[in-house]
Structure 1
Amino acid sequence: MSTKEATARIKINKLLEAAGWRFFPEDGRPASIFLEPVIALRGDDSESLGDGFQNTRRGFVDFLLVDSKGLPLAIVEAKAEDKNPLVGKEQARKYARSQNCRFVILSNGNLHYLWDLERGNPYVITSFPTEESLKSFQRGLSPNPRRLADELVGADYIVLTQRPTYEAEAGWRSQAERASYIRANSLRFLRPYQLRAIHRLQDAIRDNKDRFLFEMATGTGKTLTAAAVIKLFLRTGNAKRVLFLVDRLELEDQAKKAFTSLLSADFNTVIYKENRDDWRSAEIVVTTVQSLLFNNKYQRLFSPTDFDLVVSDEAHRSIGGNARSVFDFFVGYKLGLTATPRDYLRRFDQRNASDPREVERRLLLDTYRTFGCESGQPTFRYSLLDGVREGYLITPTVVDARTEVTTELLSAEGFVVSFTDDTGEDQHETFKQREFEKRFFSDSTNHLLCKTFLENALRDPISGELGKSIVFAVSQNHAAKLSQILNEMASLLYPGKYQSDFAVQVTSSVSDAQQFTINFANNRLCGSGNFLPAYKTSKARVCVTVGMMTTGYDCPDVLNIGLFRPIFSPTDFIQIKGRGTRTHSFTEQLLDRSTLGELSHPEKTSYKLFDFFANCEYFEAEFNYDEVLKLPRRKDLVDLYTGGGEPTVIDGAYEHLGTDILSTVREETIGGAGMKIDRMFFERFGETVRENSEIVAAVEAGQWDRVIHYVNQDVFDKPDEYYTLAKLRKAAAVDRRVSLREILEKVFGLIPQFKSKDELLEEEFVKFVADHTPDEAEAISAIRHYFKAYLTSATVREIVDQRRLTALATNPVLSTRDFKAVPPRYRTLVPEYIKDYVSLNQFAA
């Protein structure tokens, strides 16, 4: 047996044991693994495996997995490490049929597939299924993709679950009463485009696809569409249990309530963390990715076959980073939902690694690839413009309003502050857009932005008061400041009407903030009908938030959105814009229509998006604003740091210029655990961030942009510890450059340990092979070496990219012989793949 075969065997043994399979009787339970065809272990723990048990007539041993009664459940077809597991596919099928096995596991120790012979194609898995999982899967599911494709799905598909007899009821049969009957029973009919989405999925199933991606604009009812898809799979017997993944804590409750409202007559929905002991009794399980990641819960408590359909809400967020491992763990059908179109990727130069959009570019590309849409064409697409054209959505009136400070700050050069230092030398410091968040919000700037917003915002068409508005602030402190200013202005503008209820801070540090968002949507935040008693609208007119009201928040009567901060994430930008796109008739809020007479414009036809920081220009290279407000020059707008005078620079870096010199220098290699002082430094950092309520709340909500922002702003470079990313990387003692997000995931227990460079390389290679399995199985070893060399060596990348292949003759990382061993198509495929999907930065030392 070769070294590669032995290594594969060791890895496969460990994977089987980790999934609870037994080579020998144990704790009164019989052995559940048999080695075929050399020896049988049935019940005899004294039986010797023999010297030649690894070798068979076909070259490498197979495993037969049986249940507690000794009945065959699955076979494992094992290949050496340098072989593609799929080469044993037909051989395994034949053997499985002879043993009356439905399941086959194909593995070379590194790459594994689970194949349900009654279902279709093998799926990549990251761990082996348990005995109970396979038995449950076999017992409860008789998949029939034909039924999926042929099921009739009409506009009333969900309504037939909500109220099966609706067509026979008087309220429906009466045309005059029908609208009020639908509202009273909360019936949800599928819109034509939602039906098209489901029919496209059925077409994809006919083409033997098992991964689907719906790209649907915010406000188009992705959750309703997902509910119809879930019913389709459960009703046709192609799923016995569905996992619905969200990336934020508040979306768990929202999804659970939605599915309960839509499907509870036929199917039970639970949130996993609230039903840890009996989640298996539900057909629909909702959870955050973070919950499953915590201490590798998804591997410890679940099996790959526990869910037959996995739906990923806001897909490129909920499967980004380490969360991808959760998604890949489960086999079966996969549906991704996203509101972020891939189109924006064409608007910036992907070679500019410093562009903040680059991270999301990779996430989006990976999302499309994950859901089988490498071409960039999702299974179904319905854009904002589609929704506007068909009358379901509205576009904003975008208002460009900038102060002199923000204009300079947002220029290519940034904001330059000139000053004279203590030595008399002239100096200047440039502050770019990100630094605005920390240093450039003076009271005068905030007052001017609030004044501009109030004077130009849309009014409620019925009451005439300020239309309901959402303002997005930089931080919780900034949100508190804006709320105070808006309330002070409202007291002057509307004497006696509001008692500091005009603007409400809605951030994670505020008690009952989540309930505030619900009350605002239901028009009872701080009261209702403040101007007209017969009109139900929230007394509070402005919610000031940071990130709580972005994804999935539905408040159709919002008329104004204020961007009081720069935005760097395309997803955040699209989600925030989407808060105002829903259509609405304000007459629905009238308690007594007769008291108001005829209303001239009761329908919402537009909303205003106040862009104080050129966010639209940032995401749309040539953006034509609907309104441009030239703000007055104010002397105190540049009075940013003190009560008066010229601006100065604060928080400057300290450089030691003393006369001390080093007398000796000694080098010492630190082991994998790092120095004790480094470990203590890392532990103190962990304690610091875990004590920060804002950071904890943002981690629990899966809002990683906010988490990283808080750490950069409130934790890094502060006195006492002076935590920095560079110091934390050193303390982590990993042989590569870990990201701040990885460090925080480790601190909060979302990952058990940092992956080494080699583990990460192998993980990336497995993903590559899963998508681009070579026909030449014997070439896998050469492709792996080429993949890793290109990924880790700047010299190799330069040689390959510039086609200076003769230089490989003397290259120690990748030789000419190594390169020639790579099949020709992979010589260009590997570099293209890495440029699109893999971040080079994480492999730097």
Structure 2
Amino acid sequence: MTSIPNQNPEQIARDLIDKQLMLAGWLVQSKNEVNLSAGRGIAVREYQTSSGPADYVLFVDRKPVGIIEAKREEEGERLTVAEDQSRDYATSKLKYLNHGDLPFVYESTGTLTKFTDYRDPKPRSRPVFHFHKPETFAEWLDQAKTLRARLRDFTTLDEYGLRPAQIRAIRNLETSFKDNRPKALIQMATGAGKTFTACTFIYRLLKFANAKRILFLVDTKNLGEQAEQEFLKYQPNDDNRKFTELYNVQRLSSSYIASDAQVCISTIQRLYAILQGKELEDTAEEENPNESSWTYSKLLSGKDPLPVAYNAKNPIEQFDFIIIDECHRSIYNLWKQVLDYYDAFLVGLTATPDKRTFGFFNQNVVSEYTYEESVLDGVNVPYDVFTIETEITKSGSIIKAKEFVDRREKLTRKKRWEQLEEDLEYKPSQLDRNIVNPSQIRTVIKAFREALPSIFPDRFDEEGEFEVPKTLIFAKTDSHADDIIQIVREEFNEGNDFCKKITYKIEEDPKSVLNRFRNSWAPRIAVTVDMIATGTDVKPLEVLLFMRDVKSTNYFEQMKGRGTRTIKFDDLQKVTRTAKHTKTHFVIVDAIGAIKSKKTDSRPLERKPSIPLKDLLGAVKMGAQDEDLFLSLANRLLRLEKELTEPEKEKFSDLAEGKSLQTVIKDLLNAYNPDVIEDIEAEVSKEMIGQAPDDISKTIQGKVEDLRTEAAKIFTGPLTEYVEKVRKAHDQVIDHVNIDRVIKSEWDTFSKDKANEVVKEFAEYIETHKDEILALSIFYDQPYKRRELNLKMIKELLEQLKLDRPLLAPSYVWEAYQQLDQVKENSPKNELIALVSLVRKVAGIDAQLTPYDKTVNLNFQKWIFKQNAGQHNRFSEEQVEWLRMIKDHIASSFQIDIEDLDYTPFDGKGGRGMMWNLFETQMVDVIEELNKELTA
């Protein structure tokens, strides 16, 4: 809201509060114009009480029910202090009225609001996004007990049919609810029954706590459908009816939320769109937005994502509880604000939490059940690793100049024949993205086929025919999946039904294919990219063939989880006839090194189709500015823009004087856009009216030339080199020339010779680039600047390492050090922390390879001991708590700035304002001191 000049801060806050109250359905009246019959909910300003005038008194159905204490925005951090004042008003007598204490109390600045229901056991304030509706208060007052009181009324859990880990999770979660903990995390291994556990405690919340409505939140349509099936078949122990006969379950497929729905299942993408009042594109729910190339523009038809705003059709009290499936990827960035919107308890479900997950759920982990524990309990099965390595997979190859190659468009798969003008050398990381070598795919598949009888020696039928176990192949892209399927069918000498693709982009119904894969003999092999990489239950799976790597450790663990499921022997035999016993394990066939690298105008534009992009860039760089050149370059960049990742676009912008790729394209198009030039002509003619025509013409020509120069000037050497480099990473060349061969097809090991080689290669890379990469130069030559090392520098170093030497992944190098007995601890899960630890070792800063976060912890202990030495402690307990938060931030982000205090976790503790209150003039000095001492 725009403030009026000279308007005081109190009035600004009240104007904001007035607006929010009206949006929530309240009528705002002054104390001199009260009409309690004007509506159901009335908010009266400055109403007189025995303790003085209250900022707002809330009436519902003519009865007083609540208080709002308004504060200036700069007092947001002091809302907790205002609780006593607002409570005094709530327990005071209102003029003219005879009433009891008012239960509903807010403290608000208009931008930050806290709410307390004083009918709760041990009433506790909580932040809310907005004010509640008057109808909600009326409904709550009709209830004998509040929700938080009812959460203390659970009956003893009937344990029949529940595993020990599920029992523990439900009991601890209900204790968390009784303690009024707003967030709780259930960490449960893939295959251990997270969704069944959720169905059980949701049933108990509805029956015993009389919850009004519960949201089960997912991030893909596939997971939503699977959750719906769990509710459809769930039957509680204390009732003969199914869950869906007792309670209404609605899986959202539009913006409509049924008023009688007691359980809603939705993707977080759909919920965001609902709150925005927008329609959702069909494809937006198909892919997990945090692990794919999905972008926000898919959500709202190309528009930029907007912050969540109050939506009266979907008020903050719409859900009492939100269950967040796969919460390790649904609680950040754009999605966090969806969760912050609702006044609801949040329960996270995941098999693979990380530090951010623990932080978001306030470290309230009510249950931890790891994969290793699930294997020991017989809930899941273990796995073995079989490695297939080929020459081209390991080292890439080179296609000599003058060879004829096919070039294929990824989307249409349309081919064109072309003779190479120069040698084309490609790295392993380019395979199946911009280079396709059918021999490499065929060699891997053939080696897999030949190894299967030795991996599963008991799978021959009475006639000596080998039965392929149910196998899931992970492909890099849809195009890669198509290549794999064709070769699998040929190498196994089978028909179409033997090997199928399961992605959202197939013509067949993907759910039907998945169901056949799960329950029928055919298909024996399925190829997927993302659709069933996580969260999908295919119990008969016995082989996972990795032909793609992934950057995220969490995602990789989720992918591995597809094979962990146990299955009854009879059920396994129905789909795998030669199975001689129940499923005891599954096999990961690693053909990519995934185990070791584990770890984000109508004008025709093309005017120069025969000229390579490199030459177009070179011509613009050297000053050429003709129309055909600009339009052709814009066209090539338009194509490229659709394929670039967000980090690649950011890198482009850094090299293009801060301009985005879309802006650069627009500038090229506008340089010869008749409408733009016409506007220039009209503007100049208007400004120079009455002057000589030649002067006007020269001025117009000068402005047009400036327009074209501005469009071209950003194409400097570094930018053109980067564009050409990244373009090569997104175009596919079909290599029919080089024939691949198997180097290794064996059970996985890591020899000491190999470990020495990896450690040496990594050290050589770091030494070679220490003068080129800023982060490395700081480690080597500028120890006094180590405090300036930041997260962006380390990310750039990691990106460069992955680009240059993708096999030198930090976790892989760390494992090499472990094989050489130079470090006992496992690699940190955060690969940035692992990378910094390794660089410090190579640079000689640390004598032993030590996880960087532990180095920071040790430095902190030494520093804090020094501060508190002697008779007087330098810091209080409350200050030390803040110092520990800062230490944790430096351990993960390598540096802290004052601005970081505005974000998690500091904002939850009062942000930079609270730190200033605690440290006052010492604040800046303490931050600089910690940056220096902890990174030493």
Question: Where does residue 741 of structure 2 map in the other structure?
Answer: none
* 1: CA distance, partners of 2:647 / 2:897: 36
Residues 151-183 of structure 1: CA deviation (Å, up to 9, x unaligned): 311323xxxxxxxxxxxxxxxxxxxxxxxxxxx
Residues 773-797 of structure 1: CA deviation (Å, up to 9, x unaligned): xxxxxx9xxx9xxx9xx99xx9995
* 2: CA distance, partners of 1:327 / 1:499: 47
Does 1:728 find its partner at 2:731?
no
Does 1:371 find its partner at 2:361?
yes
> How far is the alpha carbon of 1:560 from its aligned partner?
0.7
Does 1:250 find its partner at 2:240?
no
Give the aligned residue type for 1:23: V
Question: Where does residue 387 of structure 2 map in the other structure?
Answer: 400
Q: Is the 8 A contact 1:462 1:602 kept in 2?
A: no
Seen in structure 2, the aligned counterparts of structure 1 residues 709 and 501 have a Cα distance that, compared at 3 Å, is: farther
Question: Where does residue 504 of structure 2 map in the other structure?
Answer: 508
Residues 610-666 of structure 1: CA deviation (Å, up to 9, x unaligned): 12222211237xxxxxxxxxxxxxxxxxxxxxxxxxxxxx97584334696599xxx
Residues 465-515 of structure 1: CA deviation (Å, up to 9, x unaligned): 100111111111111111111111222xxxxxx432110111111134432
Give the aligned residue type for 2:495: Q
Q: Which of 328, 333, 349 in structure 2 is aligned with 1:337?
A: 349
Does 1:233 find its partner at 2:220?
no
- Give the length in aligned residue pairs: 589
Question: Where does residue 101 of structure 1 map in the other structure?
Answer: 102
Question: Where does residue 76 of structure 1 map in the other structure?
Answer: 68
* 1: CA distance, partners of 2:924 / 2:252: 43
Seen in structure 2, the aligned counterparts of structure 1 residues 394 and 332 have a Cα distance that, compared at 3 Å, is: same
Question: Where does residue 583 of structure 1 map in the other structure?
Answer: 566
Give the aligned residue type for 1:543: A
* 2: CA distance, partners of 1:90 / 1:417: 77
Give the aligned residue type for 2:662: L
Question: Where does residue 488 of structure 1 map in the other structure?
Answer: 490
> How far is the alpha carbon of 1:321 from its aligned partner?
1.6
Give the aligned residue type for 2:391: E
Seen in structure 2, the aligned counterparts of structure 1 residues 516 and 571 have a Cα distance that, compared at 3 Å, is: farther
Q: Which of 431, 436, 440 in structure 2 is aligned with 1:441?
A: 436
Question: Where does residue 555 of structure 2 map in the other structure?
Answer: 572
Q: Secondary structure at the match of 2:195?
A: helix
> How far is the alpha carbon of 1:238 from its aligned partner?
5.4
Map 1:214-293 onto structure 2 (within 5 A): 214-237=186-209, 239-262=211-234, 263-273=243-253, 276=256, 279-293=258-272
Does 1:127 find its partner at 2:130?
yes
Question: Where does residue 775 of structure 1 map in the other structure?
Answer: none
* 1: CA distance, partners of 2:929 / 2:228: 43
Q: Secondary structure at the match of 1:245?
A: strand
* 1: CA distance, partners of 2:83 / 2:928: 25
Give the aligned residue type for 1:110: T
Q: Is the 8 A contact 1:61 1:78 kept in 2?
A: no
Q: Is the 8 A contact 1:468 1:541 kept in 2?
A: yes
Does 1:142 find its partner at 2:76?
no
Q: Secondary structure at the match of 2:365?
A: coil
Give the aligned residue type for 1:252: G
Q: Secondary structure at the match of 2:323?
A: strand
Question: Where does residue 453 of structure 1 map in the other structure?
Answer: 448
Q: Tell me which of the two structures has the higher relative contact order, counting C-alpha pairs closer than 8 angstroms and 6 or more residues apart.
A: 1
Question: Where does residue 163 of structure 1 map in the other structure?
Answer: none
Map 1:662-673 onto structure 2 (within 5 A): none
Question: Where does residue 27 of structure 2 map in the other structure?
Answer: 22
* 1: CA distance, partners of 2:448 / 2:376: 29
Seen in structure 2, the aligned counterparts of structure 1 residues 213 and 825 have a Cα distance that, compared at 3 Å, is: farther
Q: Which of 318, 321, 339 in structure 2 is aligned with 1:327?
A: 339
> How far is the alpha carbon of 1:729 from its aligned partner?
6.7
> How far is the alpha carbon of 1:190 from its aligned partner?
1.0
> How far is the alpha carbon of 1:725 from its aligned partner?
8.9
Give the aligned residue type for 1:244: F
Seen in structure 2, the aligned counterparts of structure 1 residues 190 and 21 have a Cα distance that, compared at 3 Å, is: same
* 1: CA distance, partners of 2:154 / 2:924: 39
* 2: CA distance, partners of 1:147 / 1:477: 51
* 1: CA distance, partners of 2:356 / 2:925: 21
Question: Where does residue 390 of structure 1 map in the other structure?
Answer: 377
Q: Is the 8 A contact 2:317 2:342 kept in 1?
A: yes
Residues 419-477 of structure 1: CA deviation (Å, up to 9, x unaligned): 899xxx999977584x4452233111110111122222355858541001111111111
* 1: CA distance, partners of 2:440 / 2:38: 73
Give the aligned residue type for 2:331: I
Map 1:524-673 onto structure 2 (within 5 A): 524=520, 538-590=521-573, 601-619=580-598, 654-657=616-619
Seen in structure 2, the aligned counterparts of structure 1 residues 592 and 543 have a Cα distance that, compared at 3 Å, is: closer
Q: Which of 169, 175, 195 in structure 2 is aligned with 1:203?
A: 175
Map 1:802-821 onto structure 2 (within 5 A): none
Q: Is the 8 A contact 2:431 2:437 kept in 1?
A: no
Map 1:693-708 onto structure 2 (within 5 A): none
Residues 62-88 of structure 1: CA deviation (Å, up to 9, x unaligned): 222323x22234322211112122222
Q: Which of 58, 63, 67 in structure 2 is aligned with 1:65?
A: 58
Q: Secondary structure at the match of 1:273?
A: coil
Q: Is the 8 A contact 1:394 1:605 kept in 2?
A: yes
* 2: CA distance, partners of 1:482 / 1:286: 35
Seen in structure 2, the aligned counterparts of structure 1 residues 820 and 305 have a Cα distance that, compared at 3 Å, is: closer
Q: Which of 82, 86, 96 in structure 1 is aligned with 2:80?
A: 86
Q: Is the 8 A contact 1:474 1:564 kept in 2?
A: yes
Map 1:185-196 onto structure 2 (within 5 A): 189-196=161-168
* 1: CA distance, partners of 2:928 / 2:366: 26
Question: Where does residue 311 of structure 1 map in the other structure?
Answer: 323
Residues 655-701 of structure 1: CA deviation (Å, up to 9, x unaligned): 334696599xxxxxxxxxxxxx9xxx99x989x97xxxxxxxxxxxx
Give the aligned residue type for 2:175: D
Seen in structure 2, the aligned counterparts of structure 1 residues 710 and 821 have a Cα distance that, compared at 3 Å, is: closer
In structure 2, runs of 5+ residues without a counterpart are 1-5, 93-99, 235-242, 278-307, 404-420, 600-611, 668-877, 901-911
Q: Is the 8 A contact 1:115 1:123 kept in 2?
A: yes
> How far is the alpha carbon of 1:569 from its aligned partner?
2.0
Seen in structure 2, the aligned counterparts of structure 1 residues 389 and 94 have a Cα distance that, compared at 3 Å, is: same
Give the aligned residue type for 1:88: A
Residues 393-421 of structure 1: CA deviation (Å, up to 9, x unaligned): 11211122222233236xxxxx8999899
Give the aligned residue type for 2:496: S
Seen in structure 2, the aligned counterparts of structure 1 residues 428 and 439 have a Cα distance that, compared at 3 Å, is: closer
> How far is the alpha carbon of 1:203 from its aligned partner?
3.4
* 2: CA distance, partners of 1:520 / 1:499: 16
* 1: CA distance, partners of 2:36 / 2:57: 21
Give the aligned residue type for 1:66: F
Seen in structure 2, the aligned counterparts of structure 1 residues 416 and 652 have a Cα distance that, compared at 3 Å, is: farther
* 1: CA distance, partners of 2:68 / 2:581: 66
Question: Where does residue 302 of structure 1 map in the other structure?
Answer: 314
Q: Secondary structure at the match of 1:280?
A: coil
* 2: CA distance, partners of 1:308 / 1:827: 45
Say which one has the larger Rg.
Answer: 2
Identity level (%)? 24
Give the aligned residue type for 1:309: F
Question: Where does residue 114 of structure 2 map in the other structure?
Answer: 113
Q: Is the 8 A contact 1:217 1:384 kept in 2?
A: yes
